[in-house]
Amino acid sequence: MPLAAQRQGSRDRTSQLQIVEVPGKDGQILSYRYLGASTEVTMRGTPVAPDAHIKLKVGSRPGFVELDINRGKITGLKPASQFGSDFLTYVLWAVSVDGKAANLGEITFQDDKPISINVTTPYQTFWLMLTAEPNYAVVDPSPLIVLYSANDNPGKPSAEKTAQNISGSLFFYTHYWDYDRKPTSSDRAPNALLQGRKAVELASKSGILATGSSGTTGPEEARTREALKRAQEFLGQAESAYKENPNGSDVSQLSRTAAQIAENARALALGAVGGALVSQLEHEVKRLKAELETLRSAAPVPVPTVEAAPVNASVAALPDMAASSPPVGQPEPTPGITVGGVISKPITWFCVAGWGLALLLLFRRRSI
């Protein structure tokens, strides 16, 4: 792949959560000693930015870990717009060993030069990466990894008093993986305003916000749509401020607020946070079940098939009534007297025997 990341799974838009791996074998995960001395960490560029390089110091403080990128320690990094129309800035991430990425802050530019930052994280064990993003407030990283923490001296273990190397591969989970890599437009608006526009655009196309209301809008879906509406309002104010004074501070303030709220709406719509997406899917399942029951009740009832049971010996001994029955529509014949039927009856033989005895007595009497 052209990216320095390998996304696992298909590009099916119904698959929300994706796992992204960094294929480099020199990736470094460090566990920083609590209140230990600062450790120098190197971030190396991936194939999409081979000349990029960052050096920073990481030190444990009471309650947090501090990351300090001194001035001039970011080299070879160019504006994110080079990667496509959806990429407008860079975000630094601390990624835990189980793949949870936390947004540490934005790497901004001034006259095409990156500005150093000082940020903190509550994580004690993590690896670092820098990704190209559509706005500074993203909840999940994009799969476009630009730099990652690498071990410059793989044969030399870290000092026990500063940080400890943790074995494992570099990977993270994200709901945000489908971005446009087409060349960016030549819009010369401030970067903050461009980020606000892009954040609202992406939120409007995401999850439940991309479709009409389901008709059974729950409280979470209602809040998600309300968040998008608020973001659109702030973006409208930013556009008005830009028309009045393109260089005014209100443009950046209103634009970043719009991006932040729109990003919250996008995260809710895609299920990155909250349960709005789950609630919508549950409503959809109930609707489909109701339709299925309706179809079942409207369908004709099939005639059940009765299997032939084994014939009992006593039933088999009965006369075949169906065979002696007349055809349908014909009158039933009147039963007649037959010779076989008379001879087979006991009363007939009794009468014959009686008449024979009477004749015998009569002839005997005449002979006397």
> Each residue of 88-109: pLDDT tens digit?
999 999 999 999 999 999 999 9
- Could you count the other beta carbons within 10 Å of the beta carbon of residue 325? 10
Residue 314 belongs to some domain of the structure: no
Residue 300 belongs to some domain of the structure: no
Angle at 49 between CA 48 and CA 53, to 5 degrees: 150
The stretches of the chain forming alpha helices (DSSP H) are 191-204, 219-244, 249-270, 276-298, 313-316, 321-324, 339-343, 346-367
Same domain assignment for residues 140 and 260: no
Describe the chain by its helix, strand, coil percentages, rounded to 5.
35, 20, 45
Same domain assignment for residues 164 and 36: yes
Phi and psi at residue 352, to the nearest 5°: -60, -45
Last residue of a domain, one of 292, 312, 330: 292
d(CA 224, CA 275): 10
Last residue of a domain, one of 241, 258, 292: 292
Last residue of a domain, one of 292, 314, 332: 292
Same domain assignment for residues 113 and 231: no
Tokens coding 217: 């809008």
- Residue 190's contacts (CB-CB under 8 Å, 6 or more residues apart) are 242, 246, 251, 252, 255
Residue 298 belongs to some domain of the structure: no
Same domain assignment for residues 196 and 110: no
Same domain assignment for residues 17 and 116: yes
**Closest residue by Cα to residue 133 from 141, 125, 122:** 141
Residue 121 belongs to some domain of the structure: yes
Residue 150 belongs to some domain of the structure: yes
**pTM passes above 0.75:** no
Tokens coding 198: 């892009």
Same domain assignment for residues 86 and 148: yes
pLDDT of residue 36: 85
Pick out the chain residues at pLDDT < 70: 1-15, 154-161, 212-217, 274-291, 299-368
Sign of CA dihedral 152, 154, 160, 164: positive
Residue 184 belongs to some domain of the structure: no
Per the structure, the complete domain to which residue 90 belongs is given by 6-174
Same domain assignment for residues 112 and 233: no
How many structural domains compose the chain? 2
Same domain assignment for residues 106 and 23: yes
Same domain assignment for residues 163 and 42: yes
Same domain assignment for residues 243 and 284: yes
Residue 363 belongs to some domain of the structure: no
Residue 116 belongs to some domain of the structure: yes
**Closest residue by Cα to residue 115 from 158, 154, 72, 146:** 72
pLDDT of residue 363: 52
Whole-angstrom CA distances from 156 to 160, 231, 271 are: 12, 50, 42
Same domain assignment for residues 146 and 18: yes
- DSSP category for residue 267: H
Same domain assignment for residues 211 and 139: no
pLDDT of residue 349: 60
pLDDT digits (tens, 9 = 90+) for 269-296: 998 876 555 555 555 555 566 667 777 7
